[in-house]
Every structure is written in C-alpha cells, then in structure tokens.
Copies of this chain bind each other. A is one copy, B any other.
Amino acid sequence: MKKLINEPDAYVDEMLRGMVAAYPQQVRRVEGTDVLVRADAPVDGEVSIVSGGGSGHEPTHAGYLGEGMLDGAAAGEVFTSPTADQLEEMITACNGGAGVLMVIKNYEGDVMNFETAGEMAGMEADDLDIAQVVVNDDVAVEDSLYTSGRRGVCGTIFVHKAAGAAAARGDDLEEVRQAAQTVVDNVGTMGMALTSCITPEKGEETFDLGEDEIELGIGIHGEPGTERTEAMSADAVADHLTEAVLEDVDPADGAEVAMIVNGMGGTPLSELFIVNRRVQELLDERGLQTWDAWVGDYMTSLDMCGCSVTVLELDDETKELLAAPADTPALTVTD
C-alpha cells in the first residue's frame, strides 16, 4: 500500500488543513472541530444548508461549501459518521436565523447522529428551526451494510445544488426543504468498481476482486453491490448502470434530465468521458434530453477505480435551481 499520507490518524485533520489553506476566502474551520463552514457563515437571514458524513469521499462534502451550495460540512473519520457533537457545532455555527436544512445521506449512523444533533442544537437555541431531507438515490440494493433502505450516494450533489440555490434566492425553510425533496424524489444512481478502495487505517484492500472481475452496484464504502461479473467494456458498464437507473427513475417520455458520470477516485477523467459518451447516447435513444451533464470526481471512495451514473428528471423549478450561480471549491456555476 502506497499513499501520499503521513500518520493514518492525522489523515482527516491534515486534509482539512490542506483545504483551508487552499481556499481561505471560501472556507474556514470551526475551531476545535472537523467542521468546515463557508468563510462568511452564518449568513444572516438566509436558510443554511448543512451536510457531512465520513471522510474519503472528497470533494464531498467540504468541496461544495460556498455561495449557492453548502454552509457547513462535517467530516467524520474515514467512512465513519461525524459525531452528534460535531454536527451540533456545525448547525450552531451556520444558524443565520432563518433555519437550517440538514441534507443527510441514508446511512444509519449519519441519520441517527444528524437527528440527535438537530435536537440538541434546537434545545440550545430557541429561535432555531431545523428541517431535514434524507437522500437515498442508490438504486442498486434495498438494504445494505450500513443502511435500512437505500444508500445515499452521488445524487446528493444535485440536492446540495438545488437546496443551496433555493436558500440563496431567499426561499424560507419549508420551501428550501421542498426543493431538496423534489430532487431526492426524482434522482437515481448506480455505481460499479474495478478495484477495491484501501483505507489509510487498514492499508489493504477492503474487498477482493479478481484480476478480471468487477462489481456492479457497489456502495461508496465498498459495500457489496448486486453482482460480481467478468470485466466488461465501458459501453457494457454504461448500459448496465444507466438502464438500472432509468428503470427506477422512470422519466417521462421526452423529459429533460441532468446527469453525472462520477469517478470513484482512482479512475482517470478520460475513461469517464468514454462512459459519458455512451450514457448520453442511451439517454438520447430513450427519447430523453440531456439538459446538463457533469463528468468528474464528485463523490469518491478514496482510491477506488470505477464510476457511477446519476440521472435526475427535471422540472422547470429544479432546472432554475441547478442553473443558478454557485461558487465553491469543487463546483462553480456562473450566470
């Protein structure tokens, strides 16, 4: 195992320090925590959007801090939920008086700790309204290693974008929650792996895949997917993932969609474009219109090689929110 790390114990702390050093105008660290917030948090009179989860998925979550997306991002240890205490500190630091929306990926630890943190923060501050959405876009498996119900994966980035834009234009907490929930209701994702990820602590592969074997439906922590199969071409992978997602999302004939071909961390961008080419062909063959396509590493799994495909069926409202300006380290949308 060769990695560009120092002590495994320092992984999260050093990564966060490297992010703050790179983007001092955009993010700052809440002292004594592993929480990063927008440099100008709390933004008075605006609903705040907070998220977080285990580390190892960078640029998720702190890469999406900034105008038009997230106000706060809590980083747990690698593949481990942030504690309720850390999440409470985040909520408190982001409270600008108009309420806080928690965007939670559906993993048992995350859901439990966010809900506890929300209650604790609410008890501390009388004037703090909290709402939440739980993202469960992974169409591969119904229950999984760390979930009851479906896992939350890369579709979460569309939720951040829509919620952040709704907050930035001045929507109230319930309106922002509704904008986020609309994305949750209309998005699906499925992933696959060519290789296992290797956590800094363990230093060896989380799961075994043969030299000519891939895993379809993999989770972003290496949780089991739907099947192991012989390695296949990029087009066969794209077909498999896209068809599974479309069957779940079931977009109307002629609908407009936004999509993501997301890299798992170790896969070069060139391969993601090869996959994207086929995904967009398929969407076109199905009579769907690709309104926006994102190709790159949006939610990774350390050094895993592989990709996921996300499809979101759009309405006019969601299109407006996705097209609104955002200024974050990992995603910039201009007018």
Contact = CB atoms under 8 A, between A and B. Distances in A.
Interface string A188-221: 0000001100000000000000011010000000
Contacts of A272: 4, 18
A85 interface: no
Interface stretch (A135-143, A159-167, A168-176, A297-305): A297-305
A74 to B, nearest CB: 15
Interface of A is mostly: mixed
A302 to B, nearest CB: 5
Contacts of A332: 332, 334
A275 B305 contact: no
A267 to B, nearest CB: 6
B56 A5 contact: no
Interface stretch (A86-94, A113-121, A229-237): A229-237
Interface of A: 2-6, 11, 14-19, 21-23, 55-56, 58-59, 63, 194-195, 211-212, 214, 231, 233-235, 237, 265-277, 280-281, 290, 293-295, 297, 300, 302-303, 305-307, 327, 332, 334
Contact of A55 (B3, B214, B270): B270
17 contacts: A3-B271, A4-B194, A4-B306, A14-B274, A15-B273, A18-B275, A18-B276, A19-B273, A21-B280, A21-B281, A22-B273, A22-B280, A265-B269, A266-B266, A266-B303, A268-B303, A297-B297
